[in-house]
Amino acid sequence: MYNGVTVTQFIIEEQRRLPGATGDFTSLLNDIVTACKVISNGVNKGALIGVLGTAESENVQGETQKKMDIIANDVVIKSNEWAGHLAAMASEEEDDIYPIPARYPKGKYLLLFDPLDGSSNIDVNISVGTIFSILRCPDGVTEPTKEDFLQPGTEQVCAGYALYGPSTLLVLTTGNGVNGFTLDRDIGEFILTNPNMTVPADTREFAINTSNQRFWEEPVQRYVDECLAGKEGARGEEFNMRWVASMVAEVHRILTRGGIFMYPKDTKDPSKAGKLRLMYEANPMSMIVEQAGGASSTGRERIMEMKPNDIHQRVPVILGSKNEVERVVSYHKD
């Protein structure tokens, strides 16, 4: 019999360290964990249950939705709307915020999520994931609006993601380090397998979409050129390049062995400040990476200190091993 620490036990033990904790937050996390298990099952079965392919619709960002985008979005909402822990939700797949229906009690937290990050990969059986961020609803607010969600990343109570790959993994931070859990399908529980995850300060591995190279700003071009030059270049080191096109997979690799991930500002579409969404992609991943000892920046400022202006706001993202991120930031300053 395997007697590992389950994610529920881990969360409850964390709760006991906080004077005055009511258990609401613990129950909210358990509801999110349940949603991740359901999504994992759908992703795992794929074509067997007819959930692959496009849904012939677009989300608010004008991106083609996959069937599992819509399914995963519904799963997260249905798992969390009824329990009385949330005041409202915001999703990549929803134009506006999702208020808790009047028939359910309301709680003191706000949930933001990307239900299926990297979903363009699902039809070719490459890892995808769910990203989430939890904020406190402002005091005295019973009917939250968009503006109540627009809090900087430093205000996050919790950030996490589920990675649906060869194993289903759950990675969490509540501001006290980063811990990883693996889903044991035999017992239906996430078991603590990666305690106190850390990002090495140095790396020789970078991830960027080089098809956009002609649109990059000079600081990013300079950094990548140095990496590609290898031992003969200014860095005097050989670098490896990776690109999965799934932020969850990219960040998990960095948490596991170090690296730097970049989706920088470019000139491909001048109307967009960046590719990734601040509130439910960049902020939660930045919190996780920073809590693991890494760094996260737009190249010009710390991501988690940005004042959001919209729940679907896009930003440049440069995150990962601290020394490499700081190098790219210094090139922007130059």
Find out whether 118 is annotated in a ligand binding site.
Answer: yes
**CA separation, residue 48 to residues 1, 42, 51, 131 (Å):** 32, 9, 8, 25
Q: Which residues pair with 240 in a beta bridge?
A: 205
Return d(Cα 44, Cα 31) in angstroms, integer.
20
Find out whether 196 is annotated in a ligand binding site.
Answer: no
322 in Cβ contact with 294 (< 8 Å): yes
Find out whether 297 is annotated in a ligand binding site.
Answer: no
Return d(Cα 130, Cα 152) in angstroms, integer.
21
Find out whether 40 is annotated in a ligand binding site.
Answer: no
Find out whether 143 is annotated in a ligand binding site.
Answer: no
Q: How many residues does the chain have?
A: 334
Contacts of 334 (CB under 8 A, 6+ apart): 219
Find out whether 296 is annotated in a ligand binding site.
Answer: no
Find out whether 209 is annotated in a ligand binding site.
Answer: yes
Find out whether 330 is annotated in a ligand binding site.
Answer: no
Return d(Cα 44, Cα 70) in angstroms, integer.
16
Annotated binding site for Mg(2+): 92, 114, 116-117, 281
Annotated binding site: 92, 114, 116-120, 209, 275, 281
Annotated binding site for substrate: 117-120, 209, 275
